A and B are shown apart, each in its own frame.
Chain A
């Protein structure tokens, strides 16, 4: 098997407390699966989405600095946050396609960059490089009965000519992964819908509308919970529902992997959820 060593790019949300449970569960699951994550040395914020929205040269340069650092470290990047992931992919793509972008970027960062190393998302690495068979072997507590929908969100699978490791309209990787963990995965129409992302801080009524629609779609297919791969999707779904008995918990896919694989420390992750998933997990005797 090829060596699974990557330069880990957690991004600001995972490094700070905002999505610490995503960071901790990603690291725990990766270690258990033999994926070596060496943190990208002295990485900086990717600026999403304000950087690319308002100053493309700045976006290319601050993202390019991370790409150049990975090249220095001699490793492909493993990103966890899909927004960071798309920015890194997009900038590499632009630099390789357009010599002007590349030369301006190199000039702004004052570091060499050739574009030899790729960027992958942790979901891609887990499902495509490690493989579902290896994961099934490690499942000690199958998520039997737990009814889930996979929420990929926007930029994990779009645009396909830049990211493209799964179908952009009806992706399957997370569904297959959760099925391998023993869960009852439901098909639904919200897989790649948008949560409103950074409008959360400037146009909250839009985000509240979009989250309501998503939760309704999930409920319509009988889901107990949503499973996300993005700190922003997770924060919006977790934070923008009305708190009630019926509020739908949302997990990071790595948290459920950790639970099914019997890894330690899961209890710390549940405490970070605004909508506590403990009651739900207890009802299926999973904690």
Chain B
């Protein structure tokens, strides 16, 4: 009874940033999608302490877990943190409660994309989409194409020097490798709804 009322009424949480909307079904949605035992977290901060990129995150990994528990969907899915996690697997290796936080981050990223929630960082989600595109066409990654496209799209020429060094040492193949049965890859993309 209580749960139903929770799920249908509009609930908010007030924190230092103001009043935040709560989505009462969010925690369950994420737990189910990633088969994640998030309730076990007792906020020991081990994940955040060992995280090599926590200092670049707007919301730290332990806070992400807590905020998912609380149903702060909008804040979590629009955070930059979920895109900064580079899945180094340190947190899950050390978590005393065996919570797979990289998998949680993946689940959150996938949910943000599926529900078209854009956040502070728009470059990284777009990069992932662009990264997957050459694989649909060739079956393999095309580094040179990906890099040139990335530079042209962001107009960020900060890596020009590195690019020249890589070309001088013949580190960027002019053409990508190809899978013979690339139709199989296209079918996979279609069945798994990837553009």
Write the residues of chain A forming the contact surface with B, with a CB cutoff of 8 angstroms: 12-13, 15-18, 20, 42-45, 47, 49-58, 61-62, 65, 86, 98, 107-110, 154-155, 158-160, 168-169, 192-194, 196-199, 201-204, 206, 210, 239-240, 243, 271-274
Complex Cα gap A42–B182 (Å): 9
A154 close to B89 (CB less than 8 A): yes
Write the residues of chain B forming the contact surface with A, with a CB cutoff of 8 angstroms: 35, 52-53, 56, 84, 86-90, 92-93, 100, 105-107, 109-110, 113, 123-125, 127-129, 131-132, 135, 139-141, 143, 146-147, 150, 158-159, 162, 165-166, 169-173, 176-177, 179-181, 184-185, 187-189, 191-194
Complex Cα gap A184–B94 (Å): 30
B110 cross-chain contacts in A, Cβ below 8 A = 53-56
Complex Cα gap A274–B165 (Å): 7
Complex Cα gap A173–B162 (Å): 32
- A42, A47, A197, A274: which contacts B88 (Cβ < 8 A)? A197
- B93, B125, B169, B177: which contacts A158 (Cβ < 8 A)? B93
User: Can you list the 9 inter-chain pairs with the closest CB atoms, starting with the nearest?
Assistant: A158-B89, A50-B128, A154-B88, A194-B88, A50-B131, A12-B141, A58-B192, A16-B173, A194-B52
A62 close to B165 (CB less than 8 A): no
B90 close to A154 (CB less than 8 A): yes
A107 cross-chain contacts in B, Cβ below 8 A = 191
A and B contact pairs by CB, cutoff 8 A, 6 listed: A12-B176, A17-B173, A58-B132, A58-B194, A199-B84, A272-B169
B86 cross-chain contacts in A, Cβ below 8 A = 49, 194, 196-199
